[in-house]
Structures are given as structure tokens and as C-alpha cells.
Amino acid sequence: MSAVEISPSLMCMNLDKFKEEITFLNEHVSSYHIDIMDGHFVPNITLSPWFMGEVRKLSRLPLSAHLMVTDQTFWVEQMIDLKCEWICMHAEVLSGLAFRLIDQIHDAGLKAGVVLNPETDVTDIFPYIDLLDKVTIMTVDPGFAGQRFLEPMLDKIVQLRKLRAQADYHYLIEMDGSSSRKTFKRIDQAGPDIYIVGRSGLFSLTDNIADSWAIMRKDYEEMTGKKLE
């Protein structure tokens, strides 16, 4: 596996330092993770297409939309209009829609991902797993920052790695939830390609994004024994 990617969860950033933090992170990360919540699929409401447009003004990095929404069709169309590079839908609400929406995303020249809640088994996505560009494993209950890390979910990452190798699938494997010094070693042993970092792993470490990034990088390297590119 190549070096891991770090994708900051922007719902956890300090919005009063929006320009400062995006400008800094542009030089250190390869994408941004943007949570879209509708207050129905999860009880919270967070970021929006408007927010994504504001990020676009300051960055050319790919955006990855995590659609924690009930009406996947409506929000996929919104993301396609924004040319969001990665559109990640929840498996739990894709019955009868998966093939159609994945094809719609690919036809727009964008990448399609699926997200699995902790209670959702990897086998649920077997009918269309060969079409996916990314699979995201939730290692927390979705909807709010700061949830308890659910270590057994790492087994899904191991399972996805084995499936990818056996069947020559092309999806990336992403983990989302409580990625921090306390969990870096266990996550690394499971082997995802992309770490979502949020409040505990990055944005709450200090009041300065450069200092927080330095601490996060040091934490990752000390706990895994690997260099963060």
C-alpha cells in the first residue's frame, strides 16, 4: 500500500479561521472531507453546498462529500452540479438506487463511494462493490463529532483489503471516526488508504493550525513508526 492520505473533516475546523486553515491545509493534504447532513438520516445538520462553494474559492483540492442524508438522489444531483470530485452515499438508504446513482456519478466524470455505518456489514454492498471508487468505514456512530471509537469496525477494513486483492477491485478504503494519537496504531494495523481527521486528531489540538498539524504528524509517526508524506 502506498503512503496514507489525510483528509481533514471540515465540519470540525475552526470556522472563525476558515481562510487561514484552508490556506495552510492546501499545502499538506490531498483532499477535503465534507459532511452533508439533513437532520433526518442523522439528527444533526452541518455543512452545505454553499459551504463547498466557499472552499472552492480558496482551494483546488478534490472535495469528498459524505452524504448523511435520506434523499440520496436529490443530494447526488446537487453534488454533480457542484462537480464534487467524490460523492459518497450511505449504503443503508441505497436499496433500489445504487446502480442508477453510481452510473449517474460516473457519467458526470466523478467518483462514486459508499459509506457503511457500524451496524452495516460489508456483504451489503457486494452487488455493486466492483463499481465503487471508494468505501468508507464508519468507526463511530455517524452524525456528531467526538463519538466513541468502535475498534471492531477495523475488521471491515481488513476484509475490504482482502477482497480488493482477491478480486482486483479498484476502490480506495477510507476510515471515518476518532482518528487520533489514541487510535493511530490500531488503525494503521488495519491498513486504510485514507484517514479522516477531525476534532480529536487535528483541529482541537491547539489554536493554530500549523502547530496542530505538526502535533498530528508527530503523533501519527510515533504511534505507527511510519513517515507521513
Does the model's pTM come out above 0.75? yes
Q: How far is CA 114 from CA 3, 17, 136, 138, 142, in A?
A: 22, 31, 6, 11, 14
Block means of pLDDT (10 residues each) for the chain, 229 residues, are 84 96 97 94 88 96 97 97 97 97 98 97 98 97 78 97 98 95 96 96 97 97 91
Max CA separation in the chain (angstroms): 47
Residues at the binding site are 33, 35, 66, 143-146, 176-178
Unique residue bearing C-alpha cell 471492531: 152
* pLDDT at residue number 146: 63
Residues at the binding site for a divalent metal cation are 33, 35, 66, 176
Active site residue 121: no
d(CA 45, CA 22): 22
Active site residue 193: no
d(CA 176, CA 4): 14
Q: Which of 72, 82, 80 is nearest to 109 (CA)?
A: 80
Query: What's the number of CA atoms in the CB half-sphere (13 Å) around residue 4?
Result: 27
List 133, 176, 193, 219, catalytic entry: 176
* DSSP class per residue in 143-191: TSTTPPP-GGGHHHHHHHHHHHHHHT---EEEEES--STTTHHHHHHH-
Residue 188 sits at φ, ψ, to 5 deg, of -60, -40
List 35, 133, 193, 219, catalytic entry: 35
d(CA 82, CA 52): 8
List, in order of start, the domains of the chain with CATH numbers: 5-224 (3.20.20.70)
Contact 139, 118 (CB under 8 A): yes
* pLDDT at residue number 1: 42
Give the bridge partners for 35, in sequence order: 66
User: Which 3 state secondary structure label does DSSP give 122?
Assistant: helix
Residues at the binding site for substrate are 66, 143-146, 176-178
